[in-house]
Amino acid sequence: MNKIWKTLSEVNVNKDKERKGRFDYLSWADAWKHVQQNTESATYELHDDVVYPDNSREVRCSVTIDGISHMMWLAVMDNNNRAIKNPDARAVNDARMRCLVKAIAMHGLGLYIYAGEDLPDVTAQQPAPKKEPPRKNPDISVHPLEPEVQTFELYNRDGQIRDTFNDENHYTAAYLELLSQAQKAGADAGMIDQFKEANKNTIDQLGSNNQTQIQDKTKWARTQASVSK
């Protein structure tokens, strides 16, 4: 066991843990504070992102503490842990800071959050705690990361992203506005179907009220387009 691991794995970060929903996480600011307070020197480096063919993105970060380096990687994800295609600057920035916390955890700080434990490894001489049976619904996230913000992506009928929203009501309003513009421009039933199909995955994430609005308005617009032809 190296000195850095022994020092950081014994730091109790429970007072800094925050909870949102079912998950506990350690913010990047608190993680970096503990690193600075318990080590001689520490630096981090953000590496070039990896962009995949579907335009989803993976960020990478390495942390060097007292001469020992660890690198970790993390996909830019929404709050359902699904990769975001064409992520905006905010989503990329959030993922980078979460990746920083993940790389720090590789040095021992807060790693017990990953394992779902309640206390740090204070000393190897203490008796080993009794193992509990695995919980079917764990209360602690597999990663000590800040929860993702829900995003709703609006696409044109050709599959190109038009805008991204953090509120499903705003997404619904924007969808219906584009639908109205398409009607005024003389879109036929096929174009309206293409527009709806391009947004199907996002619509499936909406609440029942917003889904109903979109379904009803799209059906009405399609009917009007067919009648006008």
Q: Give residue limits of the domains in the chain.
A: 3-115, 152-228
Please report which residue ranges of 43-199 form alpha helices under DSSP H: 89-105, 111-115, 168-184, 189-198
Please list the pLDDT of the chain residue by residue as tens digits (229 residues). Answer: 589 999 998 988 888 877 655 566 788 899 999 999 999 999 999 999 999 999 999 999 999 999 999 999 999 988 777 899 999 999 999 899 989 998 999 998 988 776 654 556 555 445 566 666 665 554 444 444 444 557 888 998 888 888 888 888 999 999 999 998 888 888 898 899 999 998 998 898 888 899 999 999 999 988 888 776 5
Question: 211, exposed or middle or buried, with CB in 10 Å at 0-12, 13-18, 19+?
Answer: middle
Measured CA to CA, the distance from residue 109 to residue 120 in angstroms comes to 9
Classify 3-115 by CATH class. Answer: alpha beta
Question: 163, exposed or middle or buried, with CB in 10 Å at 0-12, 13-18, 19+?
Answer: middle
**CA of residue 162 relative to chain centroid, distance:** 20
Q: List beta partners, residue 57.
A: 51
User: In residues, how long is the chain?
Assistant: 229
